[in-house]
Amino acid sequence: MGGKEKITRLKKPPGHHHHDRHRRKKHNWTKLLQNNKSLTVGSSFVGVGAILVYVYLQLTRGQLHTFVSALEHVTRAVYDVNCSKDYESEKFIECKPKRCARVVRDGLISEADAAYLLNVAKKGLAYGGSNGGASILDLHSGALSKGDIFINIYSLLKKDNIHLFTEEDFMVYKKTKDKIQHAIAEEFGIPINKLYLTKPTFFSRMNTTEAQTIHDEYWHAHIDKETYGSFHYTSLLYLTTYGQEFTGGRFIFIDPDKNRTVEPKLARVSFFTSGSENVHYVEKVEDGTRYAITISFTCDPEQAISEPSFS
């Protein structure tokens, strides 16, 4: 992939103290894509078999490049990549990616708001939780991991007459979503009224519990646009910090030359175009618990979802 990196770094922002734990070079790999299709990586097309061999060699040799570390503060880190052909037949001219990239922003969301949302995630997930290592809470649909299935948290709360979420919870959630949406629109030159929130958008909790179902296997490499269909731009807000609350669990982009990692940090926002120019996975959590929010956006108004509300 022909990439270009632009980073503005502040290594020791006031009030930030990080403790770097031992970082193991153990990585987990499964299949990259299904079927024998070709994958666009930048401007080159490579057979899936060749990619699998290459990525296997990369992972087993520990050839990882840290794009952004949890030990540093970056106001804006950008890694430009060549767009895949995934968007060529689409009609959303003003919104669909004309430039593709990965962007990391520290400071866009305050640590106070991120910590607040972490508490929202914890109190919601306390009413459920997967039997495996990955649990989700979706404030839009009400989906909540519970054992080996999903339940509707709103139905549960209504049935037991429990008043769990507050108006402030939804206000902070919406404020955070709006800031990320505006940042994506500004970065990629999209009119804000042409970029829509889409599903799934959810809190995630990952720990070291052994996977029990396919829903727990978060470490598979994938392409968001293929996995979810409606995605054009993917964003993540991290609610815990790599090396403090957990180890493992780094976000890894798969590239032909090397695999590039984003290390989660409280209040860090990472966003990227959702096509096959950005194949990625999350490595297995080795210790502790990792929390994040995935907030997804589409160019297709028919795939838009409404804001969750206090009602």
Report the catalytic residues.
290
CA 194 to chain centre: 22
Q: Which residues are CB-neighbours of 175 under 8 A, at least 6 positions away?
A: 113
Q: Are 289 and 300 in contact (CB under 8 A)?
A: no
Tokens encoding 273: 């175009």
Mind spelling out the 3-state secondary structure of the chain? CCCEEEEEEECCCCCCCCCCCCCCCCCCCCCCCCCCCEEEECCEEEEHHHHHHHHHHHHHCCCEEEEECCCCEEEEEEEEECCCHHHCCCCCCCCCCCCEEEEEECCCCCHHHHHHHHHHHHHHHCCCEECCCEEEECCCCCEEEEECEEEEHHHHHHHCCCCCCCHHHHHHHHHHHHHHHHHHHHHHCCCHHHCEEEEEEEEEEECCCCCCCHHHCCCCCECHHHHHCCCCEEEEEECCCECCCEEECCEEECCCCCEEEECCCCCCEEEEECCHHHCEEECCEEEECEEEEEEEEECCHHHECCCCCCC
